[in-house]
Structure 1
Amino acid sequence: MNTFFNSSRSYIYLIFILIVAAGCTSAPQKPKVFTVEIKDMKFVPQNITVSKGDTVIWINRDMVAHDVTEETAKTWTSGPIAAGGSWKMAVAEEANYYCSIHVVMKGKIELE
């Protein structure tokens, strides 16, 4: 009888562990899309916090062309974005960026 009790208790613990483990798993989060407007010679918002894999779309609402260029090593750039145009990028890492045409325009991508 004692063996039955111990084995029943083991099954109960096993079931409990499986239920807890199932509750701890979550589905992967779908990438999100964030928008940065380029207007009045600024990136709006200037700083943005996203998750790795999310997409950022820059929309040029100014009357002149701008670009979006990684500041430190120039590892990526949009090239010129005409007025009314846009450019998007999936985020792989944090970055400071700027407009290489108008170097006073700066922005930052931060990861959660």
Structure 2
Amino acid sequence: MRILPTLLATLSLGASLAAPAAASVGTAAAQTTVVIEDFRFVPRSVTVNAGDSVRWINNDNADHTTTSDGPGWDSGELPPGSSFTHTFTTQGTFTYHCSIHPDMTGSVTVQ
């Protein structure tokens, strides 16, 4: 009669091993690119999801910054060919400018 409990325990273990694992469902964070060229941000406005990042690439022939108008981020001076990335975790609209050329402006809307 010891065979029956052992057989049942083996079948139970086999069934739990054969059960598929629960898949984790999530969305991978995305990255949006803003190009700095001709003394402007292109595109000037972008929309991203919370958790996504924006990468600014300086394709101009002068140094620029991407500096939040409020608390947030400041890339510091970006020489031509360099880039800066910021991850947005809070929903809202965030305006920014180039601190070297204040007439250069843009915005990031986070959903």
CA contact (8 A) 2:33 2:55 kept: yes
Instruction: After the TM superposition, list the runs of 4 or more consecutive aligned residues in structure 1 that deviate by more than 4 angstroms.
Output: none
C-alpha distance in structure 1 between counterparts of 2:72 and 2:29, whole Å: 22
C-alpha distance in structure 2 between counterparts of 1:85 and 1:75, whole Å: 20
Bigger fraction of residues in helix:
1
For residues 80-99 of structure 1, what are the structure 2 equivalents within 5 Å? 80-93=77-90, 94-99=93-98
1:43 aligns with one of 33, 41, 44: 41
Q: TM-score with structure 2 length normalisation?
A: 0.73
Q: TM-score with structure 1 length normalisation?
A: 0.72
C-alpha distance in structure 2 between counterparts of 1:64 and 1:74, whole Å: 25
The CA deviation at 1:76 is: 1.7
Percent identity reads 36
The CA deviation at 1:35 is: 0.4
**Length, aligned pairs only:** 86
Amino acid aligned to 1:110: T
Give the SS at the match of 1:38: strand
1:100 equivalenced with 2:103 (yes/no): no
C-alpha distance in structure 1 between counterparts of 2:101 and 2:89, whole Å: 25
Consecutive unaligned residues of structure 1, counting only runs of 5 or more, are: 1-25
Consecutive unaligned residues of structure 2, counting only runs of 5 or more, are: 1-23
